[in-house]
Chain A
Amino acid sequence: DAGVTQSPTHLIKTRGQQVTLRCSPKSGHDTVSWYQQALGQGPQFIFQYYEEEERQRGNFPDRFSGHQFPNYSSELNVNALLLGDSALYLCASSPVAGGPGELFFGEGSRLTVL
């Protein structure tokens, strides 16, 4: 039973570029949440997808967008990259939106913006 998988694991971009990160949820999970974790900080909630729609959004600009596919996998897109976007991007899945269950995290995609 595969857990949450994310790709790529590491990537380096320059300011102004665009990046797409991918996530496949744990088998049986239909809800995907994205988090940004800067060094020494806790994960910051970006948004959550359920039934291919964005259900909830944190305090992130429109440069951050996402998508969920019919197979429940998800993408996070960041446009016009800034140095401050350098962070670990974590994808988490859960069995159902709003359910009491735990979040299962992938190992993350570490983005460095130069």
Chain B
Amino acid sequence: RKEVEQDPGPFNVPEGATVAFNCTYSNSASQSFFWYRQDCRKEPKLLMSVYSSGNEDGRFTAQLNRASQYISLLIRDSKLSDSATYLCVERGSSASKIIFGSGTRLSIRP
């Protein structure tokens, strides 16, 4: 089983829609989680950290469910510029090792 699993998509939604995707992780000792965004042929960049209490940054909301070992990302009022691949990331019990999921591809259409 992969350490971090994501639905690869692609998710194809109209502009203005709300879209959500999940990521599951296998290591119950994982300490922290992040969502990264990667544009086509570019490097990944941090979108937001994920906290147990949930956190919101503008149109983006991230949630962590430790009991079920998944994290989620919700994007409201999606924009064309949100089209990208979203990577779920966990930092395990060995904090030096940061594991990426394979990414979920999101495409926003006009």
Interchain CB contact under 8 A, A105 and B96: no
A26 to B36, CA, bound (A): 18
What is the minimal beta-carbon distance from A91 to any residue of chain B, in angstroms? 9
Interchain CB contact under 8 A, A107 and B43: yes
Which chain A residues border B44 with CB–CB below 8 Å?
Answer: 43, 90, 103, 105
Known contacts A56-B94, A58-B97, A98-B95; is-contact A90 B43 (Cβ 8 Å) = yes
A95 to B99, CA, bound (A): 18
Which residues of chain A from 37 to 57 have a CB within 8 Å of any chain B CB? 40-45, 48, 50, 55-56
Q: How many residues of B contact A (CB 8 A)?
A: 23
B102 at the interface (CB under 8 A from A): yes
Which chain A residues border B34 with CB–CB below 8 Å?
Answer: 102
Which chain A residues border B94 with CB–CB below 8 Å?
Answer: 56
Report the interface size class on chain A: 20 to 34
Which chain A residues border B95 with CB–CB below 8 Å?
Answer: 97-99
Q: Identify which of A50, A56, A90, A100 contacts B97 (C-beta below 8 A).
A: A56
Interchain CB contact under 8 A, A45 and B98: yes
B87 at the interface (CB under 8 A from A): yes
Please name 16 further chain A to chain B contacts, defined as beta carbons within 8 Å, in addition to the given A42-B87, A106-B43, sorted by A numbering.
A35-B100, A41-B102, A42-B4, A42-B6, A42-B101, A44-B100, A58-B97, A97-B95, A98-B95, A100-B91, A102-B34, A102-B46, A102-B49, A105-B43, A105-B44, A107-B43
